[in-house]
Amino acid sequence: MRDLIIQLHDIEAIKFGNFRLKSGIESPIYIDLRLIVSYPALLKSIAEALWHKISHLEFEVVCGVPLTAIPMATALSLNHNIPMIMRRKEVKDYGTKKAIEGVYRSGDRCVIVEDLITSGISILETVEPLTQEGLVVEDVVLLIDRLQGGRDNLKDRKINVHAVMSIADILSTLLAENRIDTGVADRVNEYIQENQKTIPGS
């Protein structure tokens, strides 16, 4: 985990400063895991870390949440010969009109692959069409837990979260490596505590 955190920081997939998020909120940390597609060795290492978290589970297929997690799911599939399926972000009104692409059977157990979790909404948006097709979804594996309520939100829906690392792990590692100071870590921790995410209906 330490090596992954250092590499992610090196490629600036993890940044500290002042960032305006899509929601309009100012954040002292920004995580952009889309960058990893340009670093094949790092992508492979991430896939192995994900596999370590789920290798004890029984499942038939994996499905990456569009879009950032699809390369992770693909690497995991290739490294361990696991069949993969894909969820379309938008179902076309022509052709097969499928929401889920790939080969699967009703009753197959599917592990969802995600890059990070905040509230868990994007994961649930993938769970819904999978379960509508008869797939069983009880587990999600992801790289980073932002510790903003997503794990509990999914637990309420009987979905287990298997995370390689958390924001706390990132902060403690970068502090130990003198890459950030305690002021930065304190600002991030304060932001996390003040911005817990719940899902309507929870």
pLDDT in tens, 126-178: 999 999 999 999 999 999 999 999 999 999 999 999 999 999 999 999 999 99
Half-sphere exposure of 90 toward its Cβ, with a 13 Å CA cutoff? 3
Poorest-pLDDT segment among 56-60, 85-89, 197-201? 197-201
Tokens 């379960």 correspond to what residue?
131
Provide the β-strand partners of residue 116: 144
Which pTM value belongs to this model? 0.94
Placement of tokens 């992610």 in the chain? 8
Q: Are 63 and 113 within 8 A, CB to CB? A: yes
CB 187 within 8 A of CB 28: yes
Residues 68 and 181: beta-carbon distance below 8 Å: no
Hey, where are the domains in the chain? 2-194
What is d(CA 156, CA 58) in angstroms, rounded to the nearest whole number?
22
Q: Could you read off the pLDDT of 46-72 as tens digits, one per residue? A: 999 999 999 999 999 999 999 999 999
CATH class belonging to 2-194: alpha beta
Rounded Cα distance between 194 and 76, Å, is: 34
User: Given this model, what pLDDT does residue 199 score?
Assistant: 83
User: How far apart are the C-alpha atoms of 120 and 155, rounded to whole Å?
Assistant: 10
- List the structure tokens of 86: 């894909």
Task: Quote the tokens at residue 201.
Answer: 């209906």
